[in-house]
């Protein structure tokens, strides 16, 4: 799957390989290079054959190009219809259409058999039983599904919309803000058409990414996000079958291992109510800082040769128009990477405790999943494409080490109370020094149960207020009684 940032021209694949190979040994905060991995943008990365040409120029397949132009015309004719999702910053009608068509073309639309459906339901039931003693969080799965790749695209698209809209909306508005006032006046009604074309471009690249991701993902939480409807656990049996073909483990064992990971993630996402919103809010925070350098537009205009269409292609592929991450955006990416790593690390510890003594190949499967991410698996590539975020395997290992230490030092119940409030979670610095975090957590009884301490303080404060009010009422009543006695004596 390509890790080209949304809408931008592709990078040299050798650069990507070098970056991935060296990511394991680097000390980083979980975000990619701010100058190279940007979010939504413009370019030829979404066009058929849009990579691999000499000098970064696209190699066009005329058959694919004609097919795409047909789809483009269909999308334009339907994008403004009521009830459609093609009029926003991303044309999701086009994204879904492209993703489904590519999955059909690549023969990745196998429907689960009844035997597969029954096997996944049994695996999820057993995984929940194994996971239950290993965490204080209750079960979060309310329904179990067996999805095809097309099912995955259709069911997760609403969550992708929440993730993509803030970034795409900000990119679109940033380009309009960067245009000189004379250009805006001259463009007039064309500006709305440009916005529509931008939505088609974003939708096209999202569709390509979803198709490639849908052909690879194994579960609904494979990318570390709650993509499925709340409480819905899902495995993709056809993808699991292809995944098992490269392993020396039985299909049933791999399915159980993946079901345990799904069960652990759903416990976290279902019973930590602020987690989902915090993930989305961090993406929105990143989007708010997107800016476009107006000088790039002016420089580009001076270099375009109207008689040579390839001059526009060269400029679009040069990276000149890519917005650069600000320090504030880089900090938001780091927070997002740390939050994702903490969740994935916690789930890894829970799953390890649940299956290690029951599945002979658990350690090998855990290492396989880790390497899958280290070599550019679905999660890392998706976030690099969406918002320029690279999930580093080292952050995941650091988070898992911290949660393991917390389990050994303080037990399951105390470890899971860390999720009671976002301010209690370990920071990026804590992932580097887990012993310090564990020592602070166990320094006092209040830290062992910080939420209870907060509630006790609030209750004590309320009692003081009630006592003050009661004292005032008692004083007033005493004064009234004394006045009554004085009046009686006078009589």
**What proportion of the chain, given as a percentage, has pLDDT over 70?**
58
Scan for tokens 């855990």, then name that residue: 366
Token pair listed for 165: 């809209």
Please indicate, yes or no, whether residues 50 and 117 belong to a single structural domain of this protein.
yes
Please indicate, yes or no, whether residues 296 and 370 belong to a single structural domain of this protein.
yes
Alpha helix segments (H runs only) across 132-272: 149-178, 181-187, 190-214, 237-245, 251-271
Please indicate, yes or no, whether residues 393 and 487 belong to a single structural domain of this protein.
no
Close Cβ partners of 152 (under 8 Å, ≥ 6 residues apart): 214, 217, 220, 234, 236
Please indicate, yes or no, whether residues 184 and 271 belong to a single structural domain of this protein.
yes
Indicate whether 425 belongs to any domain. no
CA distance 491 to 306: 111
* pLDDT for the residue 23: 40
Q: What is the CA radius of gyration of the chain?
A: 28
Indicate whether 174 belongs to any domain. yes
- Mean pLDDT calculated for residue range 303-319: 55
Please indicate, yes or no, whether residues 142 and 212 belong to a single structural domain of this protein.
yes
Please indicate, yes or no, whether residues 465 and 395 belong to a single structural domain of this protein.
no
- Indicate the Cα dihedral angle 145, 146, 151, 155, nearest 10°: 20
pLDDT in tens, 415-472: 999 999 998 999 999 999 999 999 999 775 444 455 555 565 566 566 655 655 565 5
Indicate whether 160 belongs to any domain. yes
Its pTM surpasses 0.85: no
Pick the last residue of a domain from 358, 373, 400.
400
| Closest alpha carbon to 431 in 407, 396, 390 | 396
By three-state DSSP, how is residue 222 classified? coil
What is the count of structural domains for the chain? 2
Please indicate, yes or no, whether residues 390 and 462 belong to a single structural domain of this protein.
no
Please indicate, yes or no, whether residues 337 and 461 belong to a single structural domain of this protein.
no
Pick the last residue of a domain from 379, 400, 421.
400
Please indicate, yes or no, whether residues 260 and 113 belong to a single structural domain of this protein.
yes
Please indicate, yes or no, whether residues 366 and 461 belong to a single structural domain of this protein.
no
Report which of residues 341 and 19 the model is more confident about: 341
pLDDT at 288 over 90: no
pLDDT in tens, 26-57: 333 334 433 344 444 433 333 333 333 333 33
- Strand partners for 143: 232
Please indicate, yes or no, whether residues 367 and 477 belong to a single structural domain of this protein.
no
* pLDDT for the residue 13: 39
* pLDDT for the residue 464: 57
Q: Tell me the residue range of the domain where 393 lies.
A: 13-66+88-400
* pLDDT for the residue 391: 61
Please indicate, yes or no, whether residues 238 and 340 belong to a single structural domain of this protein.
yes
Indicate whether 200 belongs to any domain. yes
Indicate whether 442 belongs to any domain. no
Indicate whether 412 belongs to any domain. no
Length of the chain: 491
CA distance 447 to 149: 45
Pick the last residue of a domain from 373, 400, 427.
400
Indicate whether 166 belongs to any domain. yes
């Amino acid at each position: 799957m390509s890790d080209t940032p949304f809408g931008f021209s592709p990078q040299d694949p050798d650069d990507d390989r070098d970056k991935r190979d060296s990511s394991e040994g680097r000390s980083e905060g979980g975000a990619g290079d701010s100058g190279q991995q940007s979010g939504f943008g413009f370019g030829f990365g979404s066009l058929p054959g849009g990579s691999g040409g000499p000098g970064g120029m696209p190699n066009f397949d005329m058959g694919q190009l004609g097919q795409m132009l047909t789809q483009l015309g269909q999308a334009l004719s339907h994008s403004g219809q009521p009830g459609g999702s093609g009029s926003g910053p991303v044309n999701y009608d086009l994204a879904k259409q492209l993703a489904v068509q590519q999955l059909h073309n690549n023969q990745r639309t196998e429907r689960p058999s009844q035997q597969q459906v029954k096997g996944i339901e049994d695996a999820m039931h057993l995984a929940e039983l194994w996971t239950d003693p290993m965490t204080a969080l209750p079960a979060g799965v309310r329904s179990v599904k067996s999805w095809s790749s097309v099912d995955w695209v259709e069911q997760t698209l609403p969550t992708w919309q929440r993730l993509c809209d803030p970034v795409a909306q900000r990119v679109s508005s940033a380009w309009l803000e960067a245009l000189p006032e004379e250009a805006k006046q001259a463009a007039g009604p064309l500006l709305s058409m440009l916005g529509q074309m931008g939505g088609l471009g974003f939708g096209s690249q999202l569709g390509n990414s979803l198709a490639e991701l849908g052909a690879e993902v194994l579960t609904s939480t494979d990318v570390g996000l709650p993509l499925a409807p709340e409480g819905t656990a899902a495995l993709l049996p056809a993808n699991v079958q292809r995944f098992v073909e490269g392993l020396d483990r039985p299909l049933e064992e791999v399915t159980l291992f993946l079901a345990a990971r799904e069960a652990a993630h759903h416990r976290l996402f279902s019973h930590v109510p602020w987690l989902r919103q915090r993930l989305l809010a961090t993406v929105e925070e990143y989007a708010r800082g997107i800016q476009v350098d107006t000088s790039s537009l002016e420089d580009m205009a001076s270099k375009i040769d109207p008689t040579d269409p390839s001059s526009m292609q060269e400029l679009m592929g040069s990276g000149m128009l890519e917005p650069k991450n600000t320090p504030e955006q880089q900090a938001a990416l780091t927070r997002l990477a740390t939050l994702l790593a903490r969740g994935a690390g916690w789930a890894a510890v829970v799953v390890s405790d649940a299956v290690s003594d029951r599945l002979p190949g658990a350690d090998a499967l855990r290492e396989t999943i880790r390497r899958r991410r280290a070599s550019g698996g679905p999660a890392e590539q998706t976030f690099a494409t969406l918002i320029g975020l690279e999930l580093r395997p080292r952050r995941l290992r650091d988070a898992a080490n911290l949660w393991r230490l917390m389990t050994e030092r303080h037990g399951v119940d105390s470890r899971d109370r860390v999720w009671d409030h976002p301010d209690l979670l370990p920071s990026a610095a804590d992932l580097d020094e887990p012993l310090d975090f564990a020592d602070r957590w166990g320094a006092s009884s209040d830290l062992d149960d910080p939420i209870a301490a907060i509630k006790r303080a609030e209750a004590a404060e309320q009692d003081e207020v009630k006592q003050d009010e009661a004292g005032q009422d008692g004083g007033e009543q005493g004064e009234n009684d004394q006045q009554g006695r004085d009046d009686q004596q006078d009589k």
